Amino acid sequence: MLDFRKIDKKDISAIRPYFTSSSRFCTKAIGVMYMWSDYFGTEVAYYDGGVVIKDHLFGEDIFMTPRGDRSREGLTLIEEYERGRGGELIFNSVDEDDLALLASRYPAIEIKSYRDYSDYLYLVTDLAEYKGKKYHGQKNHRNHFFKEYPNYEFLPFGKEDLPAVYDFLEEHKALSPRSEEELIEYDSCYRLLGAMDQLDLLTAMIRVEGKIVAVSVGEVLNDTLIIHIEKALPAYSGVYPTMCSLFAAHYGKGLTYVNREDDAGDMGLRTSKTQYHPIALVEKRWAVCHLSRKIELPVLFTDRLVIDAFSAADMEEYAALATDETRNRYWGYDYKTDLGEDEPNAAHFDRVLTEDEARGVCYSRKISDKEGRFIGEAVLYNFRLDGSGELGLRVVSAMAGKGYGREAYKAVADEMIKVLPRLHARCYKENEKSRKMILAAGFKQVGESDEMYFFTREK
């Protein structure tokens, strides 16, 4: 069994040998992991031949894929750890190597990506030189700084300089009222700098007449310079583009890229980082991994409805429901994601439903009235380590508002709770009808995110 504990300075040297990949994600840099470990609740567990890193976000355990030569054994240990918790099996910062490992083990993987947490990637030469029309503004600001402060100093700083750097950070923090998120960032800066002896940090400050007016800190990950801290006093006009350029020129030799990390949804940061013309936004993807479960679903009858397996003859109506953009804005899944070269027609959806059920990863059932009119779909999917699954439902537009969805949802939930240890559900917060339907089927709300409510029904 994995024994997790809060990550500490002494773990840095133990973890470092395991972090060898071709990734450019900032979260694969040890400095980032340690810097934000308090905020993300980062914990570490060791096993023979490997290490597992775990964060705790939105009420869920979020893992990095196991690091080391025995990664499959690490996955088994993660599964054992999570099995009794009933949560989803989620991995973060999933690169192509990670995805290949996970895809070889889990029959259904849901990839999630959040714009707010995508890294900004630049060419070293672009930031170091500011060549071309697109960098005209940054170059002018840098030249203005050079002219205004010709005796400036750009130089690395060491542990002996930390008291002065901390004073600078306190001065910067006091420039304006700070949000809770901004204060957390300053605390994270102090945490990073406090581990200078353990980390291979690249540091620089700009001084004007002996006063620190800018600080930047980073580290190298493969062919990429990762920027962890970049702070400057805005009263010194042009100091930000100057520090950005000098740091890239000084530490980017022999490297190809600069990763200036994400903007965390801050619109000011987004504007600033976009104005430096990134060549790419690097998605720090999450992979939600689902297991398979072989289940026999009987035909269900309610007062008005029949709930049974789809046949090929139903696929025209099913395809119309699956591609109805208005009805599916709250479905949580876009059929186009896995469409590939297929046309979104009856044949495509017939194949998908058949293959998913054969793998035991998703069971779709037709809802019709007793006259045979098509009403919608109930779906059981997202099977978890404890054997539980998620229940979803959607209804065609012509049949909405008649209570059919509530009637069908409760009938399927009542049947499935007989064979599963628990059921899960979710709905978008603005979808009040769906929330009421889920609660009416015996579910209890157990959590929420910015977008959704989450529910569970126990035996």
Q: How confident is the model at residue 88, as a pLDDT?
A: 83
Identify the band that residue 340 occupies on the pLDDT scale cut at 50, 70 and 90. confident
Tell me which DSSP letter residue 234 carries.
T
- pTM of the prediction? 0.79
Rounded to an integer, what distance in angstroms lies between the CA atom of residue 443 and that of residue 413? 9
What are 326-331's contacts with CB under 8 Å, separation 24+?
Answer: 326/397, 327/394, 327/395, 327/396, 327/397, 327/400, 328/394, 330/427, 330/428, 330/430, 330/431, 330/434, 331/392, 331/394
The stretch 181-188 carries a mean pLDDT of 94
Pairwise CA distance, residues 157 & 215, whole Å: 9
pLDDT in tens, 445-455: 998 888 899 99
pLDDT at position 105 over 70: yes
The Cα–Cα gap between 49 and 73 comes to 9
User: What is residue 169's three-state secondary structure?
Assistant: helix
How large is the average pLDDT for residues 139-151? 97
Dihedral angle at the C-alpha atoms of 323, 328, 332, 333, nearest 10 degrees? Answer: 0
Q: Residue 319: pLDDT above 90?
A: yes
Q: Categorize the per-residue pLDDT at 275 as very low, low, confident or very high, splitting at 50, 70 and 90.
A: very high
Q: Could you give phi then psi for residue 71, rounded to 5 degrees?
A: -70, -35
Domain with CATH 3.40.630.30 in the chain: 5-113, 119-281, 291-458
Domain 119-281 of CATH type 3.40.630.30: yes
Q: Does domain 291-458 have CATH number 3.90.105.10?
A: no
Whether the CB-CB separation of 301 and 374 falls below 8 Å is answered with no
Using the predicted structure, report yes or no on whether residue 21 has a pLDDT greater than 70.
no
Fold classification of 5-113 (topology level):
Aminopeptidase (3.40.630)
Question: How many angstroms separate the CA atoms of 332 and 45, rounded?
Answer: 34
Average model confidence (pLDDT) across the chain? 93
Give the burial class of 183: count Cβ atoms within 10 A of its Cβ; 0-12 exposed, 13-18 middle, 19 or more buried.
exposed
Lowest mean pLDDT among 265-279, 334-348, 413-427: 334-348
